[in-house]
Structure 1
């Protein structure tokens, strides 16, 4: 989807659209500020995983070799065993197809692996995820190879569910990869708790190469201005996924933040950086253009992003839906809403609509005035809104409870003077 939108904007066929004009304008401003051409997109993301992730198991120095040699034909017994462990027949076949040479020749050993995982707190759902993501683990010696790794992770306080979400990590060598990587992160982040929190957010980060990915990424952070150990630590704890980015991509993120007027000395920088790590450059341009298409200036978009960077993570269709709702139902321009950009980050179905329904009920019952200020009335945590507008009036107006639960649908403030 991102690629098709970018291609349409860049094609130059027919009359330029407001969308493409916004992208061109944003790129021009960035060129003036940074002497770089933003639309020249380089791929972001985890550059270490450009090939099949299962290659980690077959081409590393790990001792977790696959039993079965070079056999390439799908093994019916292996598929059958995976099905017995909770995978659907289709998922089992797909897993075997993506893991050439996989043979579960000993169901006794595979059962012992599963039993060991359970003893260390892995649920049946966790074991299914492991069987799907790293089935080769079912072929290894549970006591000699797997148990020491589990003991180590237990000592670090890592949760089994997090390990199961990135099972390839359990296939890496304990002495050659896992321990050195943890030691490196401990030295950068400063505490085991920080390492644990960073890992829990993005468990797959510990699969990457220490020397090819982790060290270069940290060096890039420092090279681009995060000279304080505290600042580097804060970025990694919030977004350890930065270790999965190439130094070039990290440099681009610093450039883009600078172009939007965001300084590395600002206390919010780590949070800005966290969000930017989740975006491709072309996606950033498209989001800015989309917000501008609803009447906002570039500076207004940037100011909103500074306050609430997660507005860049909303899906395009969600942004459009909310913008049209604010305009058509609440008679609000997007620039007025984005003064409080957290509202755009709220769930449309679970937060915005129920709150509007509650306010509508209260207006109709005369409990609040129709000239209530929007969008301010929608602000606040769930507890604050619940206390202020639901619990306060629940005895006199029981419908507010139903509205808050979504059982009374919001259809607009018709006849309310809004």
Structure 2
């Protein structure tokens, strides 16, 4: 009897387990939230095939994007792409946006995207500008218009006052600008005000270097003190500019840049004076500083002390201004068409229009190839060849009249 009862119990357990297995299996198949992945004629899942053939993604990019979005028909993705095209986006731009934010393909263009575009156009974004910005950072299309985009706009307008200024800031800062960033900006702006920086200069910094104002407040405050200790006047535009530029540079990077000037022969007080006069020297790359000092010292024969007094020369483009313009002046000097006592530095500081009228157009009959000198010298290969022929800290060229 005992064996019979055990056998019956065992049979019941097997049947129960079988029923449970069948129930789970059927439940899985009938789950409305789990849909089978459809396959296209090319053998890829439909989503992957669409991303490749309609959006221009590579196979690898499409497979990666398909991990974040799935769809069985092209209706909604097609409507999103058509919407973006209607706002002037090119297929290349759309492809880039989808590669970065594939989830956009399943959004409702009329309910979600259109109101955002309408608002952004209303505050002053032009269609080409907006297309470029969204291509660079498509996160704006995923943010809530009411809870993120509009509060961000209102906050910035309260500081910079005009729509044009807000647009300028957002082009530089992007839309990933949350409450923590606003707290930092509030604190850092208050620090500038506490040190007597005029409001117009604060607005200028917000417009041109907004990233510096969302750095940690303790770092920003420390940089304000350092700039003040260097003798900068908070009432001058260069004070706020220098603070923001130093804040955007790592200390080690700053030290390497200053060391380059020292190796070139600039004294400590000359470097300080140079930074006061033109703080943008601080954001030049190390390579640009080296190449600029090399050209000014070894090609033009300028002394380091003179360069420190005229730091704007370092900020000019070597390829587009310094090398071609200097070459033209040398040609004109060799032909005796201009006075040998010409102030070369002042000539290089002219506007493009002023230089062309004074040194190119005026002498085009005597030397028709002057325009070609500019075109050839701007050529990357020629510029690179000229750079290879210069030796940093090498023999200086004969000095010109300054």
TM interval, short-chain normalised = 0.7 to 0.9
| Cα shift at 1:140 | 1.6
Aligned to 2:109: 142
As a proportion of its length, which structure holds more helix?
2
**Within the alignment, does 1:168 sit opposite 2:135 as a pair?**
no
Q: What is the distance in 1 between the residues matched to 2:59 and 2:252?
A: 35
| Cα shift at 1:281 | 2.4
**Within the alignment, does 1:263 sit opposite 2:230 as a pair?**
no
Aligned to 2:80: 113
Aligned to 2:188: 220
Aligned to 1:330: 300
Q: What is the distance in 1 between the residues matched to 2:239 and 2:359?
A: 35
Aligned to 1:92: 61
| Cα shift at 1:86 | 5.5
Q: Deviations over 1:62-113 (max 9, x none)?
A: xxxxx999x9xxx8654443444555527725963xx953435543212211
Give 2:151's match in structure 1, choosing from 165, 180, 201: 180
Aligned to 1:25: none
Aligned to 1:362: 332
- TM-score normalised by length of structure 1: 0.72
Q: What is the distance in 2 between the residues matched to 1:247 and 1:82?
A: 44
Q: What is the distance in 2 between the residues matched to 1:367 and 1:416?
A: 20
Q: Which moved more, 1:214-223 or 1:99-108?
A: 99-108
Unaligned runs of 5+ in 2: 1-32, 38-43, 391-395
Aligned to 1:386: 356
Q: Determine which structure has more spread, i.e. the larger CA radius of gyration.
A: 2
Aligned to 2:68: 101
Gap change, CA 1:406 and 1:339, over 3 Å in 2 = farther
Gap change, CA 1:415 and 1:92, over 3 Å in 2 = closer
Unaligned runs of 5+ in 1: 1-66
Give 1:193's match in structure 2, choosing from 155, 164, 167: 164
Gap change, CA 1:382 and 1:401, over 3 Å in 2 = same
8 Å Cα contact 1:186/1:195 also seen in 2 = yes
Give 1:126's match in structure 2, choosing from 90, 93, 109: 93
Q: What is the distance in 2 between the residues matched to 1:106 and 1:115?
A: 15
8 Å Cα contact 2:299/2:397 also seen in 1 = no
Greater relative CO (CA pairs within 8 A, separation 6+): 1
Aligned to 2:283: 313
8 Å Cα contact 1:68/1:101 also seen in 2 = no
Aligned to 1:44: none
Q: What is the distance in 2 between the residues matched to 1:162 and 1:336?
A: 41
SS at match of 1:113: helix
| Cα shift at 1:274 | 4.7
Q: What is the distance in 1 between the residues matched to 2:229 and 2:157?
A: 32
Aligned to 1:156: 123
Aligned length, in residue pairs:
342
